Amino acid sequence: MLLWWWGGMSSLFGKKEIEKILPHREPILLVDEVIEQGDDYIIAKKYINEDDPVLKGHFPDYPIYPGVYIIEGLAQSAGLLLLRSFEEDSIPLFLGIDEARFKKEVRPTCELIYEVKVVDKKGMVAIVDGKAKVDGQLVAKAKLLVGVKKADDSLQGSKSEAGNV
């Protein structure tokens, strides 16, 4: 899963390709590039820039990248992983979060690495294990429930099915 660590951090694809897959756009598109991707995992990156608008208010004198943005970045990375096997008019859904923990602050000028691995999958719904790292150190982790929906369709599987993934 960590082949990018040994061979350098060249990206598989960047923001333009990501925008062809995800419906998110600035300022809430929180994945800048995909470094590595396999059948059941993805490794992506977000550059935390000093001029990021969220840092102007969180917090002006001591900017910290918000934990909820880190979790959303993990969910978007999971969406990139899941959407590759669905039609173009599909959208990712963030259905739930468990066991979220924040271990270290994420400050401006960091490269935030998202590592997401599918733990279980049923139909269009999956449980993923997400880890966010800076300089190889864990800064946040969570288990996420994510799904994929065709535009204008209902999510396949009932709520009870989603809970049993």
Higher pLDDT, 158 or 17: 17
Which whole number is the average pLDDT over 81-103? 90
- What does the pLDDT read at residue 160? 41
58 is catalytic: yes
- What does the pLDDT read at residue 153? 60
Distance CA 129, CA 1 (A): 13
Residue corresponding to tokens 């993805």: 42
Among residues 24, 58, 122, 150, which one is catalytic?
A: 58
- CA 36 to chain CA centroid, Å, is 13
- What does the pLDDT read at residue 150? 85
Tens digit of each residue's pLDDT (9 = 90 or more) over 115-148: 999 999 999 999 999 999 999 999 999 999 999 9
For each of the domains in the chain, give its residue range(s) and CATH number, in order of start: 3-163 (3.10.129.10)
Tell me the two tokens of residue 144.
């996420």
The residue ranges of DSSP E strands in the chain, in sequence order, are 33-37, 41-47, 90-102, 111-122, 125-134, 137-150
pTM across the whole model: 0.86
